[in-house]
Amino acid sequence: MTQLETATGKLPRWSMVLGLLAVALPVLGALGTRFGLWSFGIGLLLVPASLIPATLGLIFGLLGVWRLRKAGQAPATAALGAAISLLAGVYLGLGVLSAFSVPPIHNVSTDIEDPPQFTAAYELRGEEENPLEYDSEVIGPLQREGYPELGPLVLPIPAEQMYQRVLTALGGMGLEIVREDPERGEVEAVATTRWFGFKDDVVLRVRETGDGARLDIRSVSRVGVVDLGANAERILEIISRVETSS
């Protein structure tokens, strides 16, 4: 057997192994971070790093298909390896690109000028975690440009009813409520992401208006510079749940 034939025989195996590695690395990164095996920085780094085996797996798979077909052999394994690598690469690539499609912020509020304030969250955060202060002059323009649809919810209902809707919405989303202050119309909660186990702090404020009640929400990531849009999505989901509940 020539060296070319030996290499051709190994290409499908290499492609399959690399494709599966590209799938496994982000999962390992997330679970390792969630269970404290390594820092969140390492866990996040494994996500874009998996593009390397995905690219190599696709190249080896395509080469394997071409060489095996040329030799008159079935290229099923090489084609499967290439397909797995391609799907993993596209999925991960879209995830990486999404980081550049959202504002580089991790602190989002429906009220930029007078954001809801945290109380309990200060005791829950570590010294090395992101600060809770909202700099309207710095964050405000970025948020307006990236999330122009984000704003308060105003409904023609009593503030007490709005407050109860807020509690129901948070419970339905699985958020941990850490502070309730009905007199001030404030609620604080903690959201934990499904994969990495990242914790984000959320504060909600209900105020009476002339003909109803207004809800403002702020959501802040404890770690990381960019939140991939998670805080804005969370706020919009809460607003949707409160608006449609009865």
Residues with Cβ within 8 Å of residue 206, at least 6 apart in sequence: 159, 162, 163, 166, 185, 186, 213, 214, 215
Q: Mind listing the pLDDT tens digit for each residue in 107-142?
A: 999 999 999 999 999 999 988 899 999 999 999 999
Residue 60 pLDDT more than 60? Answer: yes
Q: Mind listing the pLDDT tens digit for each residue in 151-194?
A: 999 999 999 999 999 999 999 999 999 999 999 999 999 999 88
| DSSP one-letter string for 124-144 | HS-TTSPP----HHHHHHHHH
Strands 186-192 and 153-155: unpaired
Q: Mean per-residue pLDDT for 56-77?
A: 90
Residue 4 pLDDT more than 60? Answer: no
Residue 1 pLDDT more than 80? Answer: no
Tokens matching residue 65: 């298909």
d(CA 207, CA 114): 13
- Taking 3-state DSSP, the helix, strand and coil percentages for the chain, each rounded to the nearest 5, stand at 50, 15, 30
Residue 8 pLDDT more than 70? Answer: no
d(CA 27, CA 132): 29
Contact by Cβ (8 Å): 169, 180: no
Contact by Cβ (8 Å): 204, 116: yes
Residue 220: HSE in the Cβ half-sphere, 13 Å Cα cutoff: 24
Helix (H, G, I), strand (E, B) or coil at 43: helix
Q: Give 7's pLDDT tier (boundaries 50, 70, 90).
A: low
Q: Mind listing the pLDDT tens digit for each residue in 190-229?
A: 999 888 999 999 999 999 998 999 999 999 999 988 898 9
Q: Mind listing the pLDDT tens digit for each residue in 13-40?
A: 999 999 999 999 999 999 999 898 998 8
Contact by Cβ (8 Å): 130, 199: no
Contact by Cβ (8 Å): 243, 155: yes
Helix (H, G, I), strand (E, B) or coil at 115: coil
Residue 6 pLDDT more than 80? Answer: no
